[in-house]
Chains A and B, each alone.
Chain A
Amino acid sequence: MQRYRIIEDPIDIGEVVTKVEDRNAGAINTFIGTVREMTKGKKTVFLKYDAYVPMAEKKLEQIGDEIVEQYPEAKVAITHRIGRLDIQDIAVVIAVSTPHRADSFAASRYAIERIKEIVPIWKKEHWEDGEEWIGDQLEKKSYSKGHPEEEDLT
């Protein structure tokens, strides 16, 4: 079972959830990232995602490992879709199971924030009047040197 995947086809949410099922889980939290139409007044027509696939899958696995380090009983699965995605399509599904609900919420949040820091996936916005690769949507964190420091990456 491959728990960290980059795929080109639509994501089967149930399949991702199934990977983290556990007899000792008291909660499975899922995060589903979808394609938004309006961003700051600008209308997206569709998106294209690209990835450095083998490294992206490794980095997703690293995020899972970081979660298990903090919550040893957690199980994590993440699938990210690449290629052309239309409005409302699912771009990413994260599932985390833990014995108690608070940890699964926190871990799921951690995973999506971390994806935006270290996983080599890029999206290109296509508008009615143009297109652009989008970078650095961290919102909360900026890298003063233009890239993450070593402690951000390990």
Chain B
Amino acid sequence: MIEILLFAELEEIVGERKLTDPQLVGKTINEVREKLKQDYPNIKQIDRAMVAVNEEYAEDDQQLNEGDVVAFIPPVSGG
């Protein structure tokens, strides 16, 4: 199982903060991003999002393992 976390405007577009998908094991982050764009055509902003796997920033070609938590992180605005 892969857990996907969405924040800020991405969460609002999808209507969920957390999605799960067993089919994504072994896929790359890029493939997850493309799948989300297919499932949610309005989620164009996801192209600007950074990605973290298990709470650490990750590159788009990283492959996902069972149990990974993938977070899409839109440009941050804390402070």
Within A126-148, the residues touching B (CB, 8 Å) are 133-137, 146-148
Task: Report the separation of the CA atoms of residues A132 and B46 in the bound assembly, to the nearest whole angstrom.
Answer: 16
CB < 8 Å neighbour of A119 from B12, B56, B76: B76
How far is the CB of A67 from the nearest CB of chain B, in Å?
16
Q: Do A146 and B47 touch across chains, with their CB atoms under 8 A apart? A: yes
CB < 8 Å neighbour of A52 from B5, B75, B79: B5
CB < 8 Å neighbour of A135 from B56, B57, B71, B77: B77
Q: Do B74 and A122 touch across chains, with their CB atoms under 8 A apart? A: yes
How many chain B residues have a CB neighbour from A under 8 Å? 22
Q: Do B78 and A92 touch across chains, with their CB atoms under 8 A apart? A: yes
Chain B 15-27 interface 0/1 with A at a Cβ cutoff of 8 Å (1 = within): 0000000000000
CB < 8 Å neighbour of A120 from B59, B76, B79: B76
Q: Which of B47, B48, B71 is the most central at the interface, judged by chain A CB atoms within 10 Å of its CB?
A: B48
Binding site of A, secondary structure by majority: helix, strand, loop or mixed? mixed
Chain B 62-79 interface 0/1 with A at a Cβ cutoff of 8 Å (1 = within): 000000000101111111
Q: Do A150 and B7 touch across chains, with their CB atoms under 8 A apart? A: no
Contact status of A120 and B77, CB under 8 A, knowing A50-B7, A133-B9, A147-B48: no
Which B residues are CB-close (under 8 A) to A123? 77-78
Name which of A8-16, A19-27, A99-107, A110-118 contacts chain B.
A110-118
Which B residues are CB-close (under 8 A) to A75? none
CB of A54 closer than 8 Å to a CB of B:
yes
How far is the CB of B75 from the nearest CB of chain A, in Å?
3
Task: Report the separation of the CA atoms of residues A42 and B71 in the bound assembly, to the nearest whole angstrom.
Answer: 32
Contact status of A112 and B79, CB under 8 A, knowing A120-B71, A122-B8, A133-B74: yes
